[in-house]
């Protein structure tokens, strides 16, 4: 179950679990997302692992491994249309209308988005008598009008499904809030979460990007458009969910922020950590982003990382100290030749 921990001796790494369950890594990741295989947090902070008992349970299921592979089998538009007995054009229309929901996507070598669907869900859709009118004959007029207006619910439906996948992987309130924030534009996050340290904490807990493309590459920008909400209704819903999630996270524990030195009234950086482990009372996530990091992120368009607030008197003191140093250097007597 999410949130429980088991000793490493009783668990296996994700790679080893995939091999023992005779799945390719992409199939195994999808099995985790769908709940076919359950994972647990690594007590050493190294990600997630799979309990040996869970591997034994899955291997003991009837029809293993073919049945498990069939549950995570994905198909593209051509094969999906064949499963429904329709043309690829009609299948694409059904997907744009949100009647069949993609489970994954990837970019082709020509940077074309390729949507993938669960074969098992398509077979269920085809056998449902209520869907028979959608598989033959003319598309109802109301649906045709929506398609003519450019309706395409594939990205939004994928985001909703992906959100559920990620939320099932954690019970930590701040991590759950970070999952919701990852689907919003940084500006939307900043308008919803006013505290810069809370935003920085959410950014540190942000899930890994789904695309393996290099940052700022055309492929990464295409993937970012798919993974970022753009529909007003969806944005409104996610912002409300983010506000509620952050409120619940605050009640559990506040976001890390610098300790204040009582003698000087200034912010004090957390104690440094060694390679052997974290020092007492310190956490790597407690350090706020530096002004240099924040300015660099701002230039790159990542507004989710914010520079800590600096009182005006501190800024004036720094400028005065710099001026005095330059003055002292200028006042030095010239050295003898």
Q: Which of 231, 259, 287 is the last residue of a domain?
A: 259
Do residue 144 and residue 163 come from a single domain? Answer: no
pLDDT in tens, 235-245: 999 999 999 99
286 lies in some domain: no
Are 15 and 49 in a shared domain?
yes
Q: Give the count of beta carbons closer than 10 Å to the beta carbon of residue 293.
A: 13
Q: In what order do the strands lie in the sheet with 40-41?
A: 11-12, 48-51, 40-41
Provide the pLDDT confidence category of residue 74 given band limits of 50, 70 and 90: very high
Residue 304 domain flag: no
Given this model, what pLDDT does residue 232 score?
95
What are the CA-CA distances from residue 286 to residues 204, 226, 266, 273, 317 (Å)?
Answer: 10, 31, 16, 11, 26
Residue 167: strand, helix, or coil? helix
Percent share of the chain, pLDDT over 70? 74
What is the spatial distance between Cα 302 and Cα 210, in angstroms, rounded to a whole number?
A: 17
User: Does residue 292 fall inside a structural domain?
Assistant: no
Residues 172 and 220 reside in one and the same domain: yes
Mean pLDDT of 45-59: 91
Tell me, yes or no, whether 224 lies in a domain.
Answer: yes
Q: Indicate if the pLDDT at residue 170 is higher than 70.
A: yes
Q: Identify the pLDDT of residue 215.
A: 86
Residues 85 and 22 both lie in one domain:
no
In this predicted structure, what is the pLDDT of residue 42?
A: 84
> Sign (positive/negative) of CA torsion 299, 302, 308, 310?
positive
200 domain residue, yes or no: yes
Q: Where are the beta strands (DSSP E) in the chain?
A: 11-12, 40-41, 48-51, 74-75, 104-107, 113-118, 259-260, 267-268
Q: Is residue 215 part of a domain?
A: yes
Q: Is the pLDDT of residue 149 over 60?
A: yes
Phi, psi of 37 (to 5 degrees): -130, 130
Q: At 155, is the pLDDT very low, low, confident or very high (cuts 50, 70, 90)?
A: very high
Same domain, 137 and 182: no
pLDDT value, residue 156: 97
Q: Calculate the average pLDDT of the chain.
A: 82
- Cβ–Cβ < 8 Å for 21, 29: no
Q: In which band, very low, low, confident or very high, does the pLDDT at 267 lie, cut at 50, 70 and 90?
A: low
In percent, how much of the chain has pLDDT > 90? 65
Query: Can you tell me the distance from the alpha carbon of 107 to that of 273, in angstroms, rounded to the nearest whole number?
Result: 40
**Could you tell me which residue, 268 or 219, shows the higher pLDDT?**
219
Counted domains in the chain: 3
Same-domain check for residues 176 and 249: yes
| Last-in-domain residue among 239, 259, 279 | 259
Q: What are phi and psi of 169, to 5 degrees?
A: -90, -5
Last-in-domain residue among 230, 259, 288:
259
- 325 pLDDT higher than 70: no
Give the model confidence (pLDDT) of 26-42 as tens digits. 999 999 999 999 999 88
Mean predicted confidence (pLDDT) in 56-85: 97
Confidence class for position 214, pLDDT limits 50, 70, 90: confident
> In terms of domains, do 65 and 79 share one?
no
Both 180 and 119 in one domain: the answer is: no
**Domain identity same for 89 and 183:** no
Residue range(s) defining the domain that contains residue 195? 157-259
Q: Is residue 161 part of a domain?
A: yes
CB atoms < 10 A from the CB of 1, how many? 8
Q: Are 34 and 72 in contact (CB under 8 A)?
A: yes
User: Are residues 176 and 254 part of one domain?
Assistant: yes
Residue 277 lies in a domain: no
309: buried, middle or exposed (CB in 10 Å: 19+, 13-18, 0-12)? Answer: exposed
Statement to judge: residues 161 and 255 lie in one domain: yes
80 and 67 in a common domain: no
Residue 252 pLDDT more than 50? Answer: yes
Rounded CA-CA distance 105/155 in Å is 9
């Amino acid at each position: 179950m999410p949130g429980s921990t088991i000793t490493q001796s009783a668990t296996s790494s994700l790679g080893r679990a995939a091999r023992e369950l005779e799945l390719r890594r992409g199939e195994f990741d999808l099995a985790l997302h769908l709940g076919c295989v359950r994972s647990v947090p690594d007590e050493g902070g190294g990600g997630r692992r799979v309990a040996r008992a869970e591997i034994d349970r899955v291997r003991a299921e009837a029809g293993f491994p073919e049945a498990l592979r069939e549950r995570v089998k994905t198909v593209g538009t051509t094969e999906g249309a064949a499963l429904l007995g329709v043309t690829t054009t009609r299948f694409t229309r059904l997907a744009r209308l949100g009647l069949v929901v993609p489970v994954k996507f990837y970019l082709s070598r020509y940077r074309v988005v390729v949507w993938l669907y669960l074969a098992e869900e398509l077979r269920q859709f085809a056998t449902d008598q209520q869907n028979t009118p959608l598989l033959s004959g003319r598309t109802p007029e109301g649906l045709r009008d929506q398609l003519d207006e450019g309706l395409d619910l594939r990205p939004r439906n994928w985001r909703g499904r992906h959100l559920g996948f990620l939320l099932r992987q954690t019970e930590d309130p701040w991590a759950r809030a970070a999952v919701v924030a990852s689907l919003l534009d940084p500006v939307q996050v900043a308008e919803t979460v006013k505290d810069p340290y809370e935003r920085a904490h959410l950014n540190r807990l942000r899930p890994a990007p789904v695309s393996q493309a290099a940052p700022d590459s055309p492929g990464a920008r295409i993937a970012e458009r798919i993974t970022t909400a753009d529909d007003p209704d969806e944005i409104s819903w996610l912002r409300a969910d983010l506000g509620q999630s952050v409120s619940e996270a605050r009640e559990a524990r506040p976001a890390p922020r610098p300790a204040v030195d009582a003698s000087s009234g200034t912010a004090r950086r957390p104690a440094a950590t060694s390679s052997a482990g974290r020092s007492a009372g310190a956490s790597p996530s407690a350090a706020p982003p530096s002004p240099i990091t924040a300015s660099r992120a701002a230039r790159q368009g990542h507004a989710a990382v914010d520079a800590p607030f600096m009182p005006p008197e501190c800024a004036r003191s720094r400028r005065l100290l710099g001026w005095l140093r330059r003055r002292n250097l200028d006042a030095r007597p010239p050295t003898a030749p």
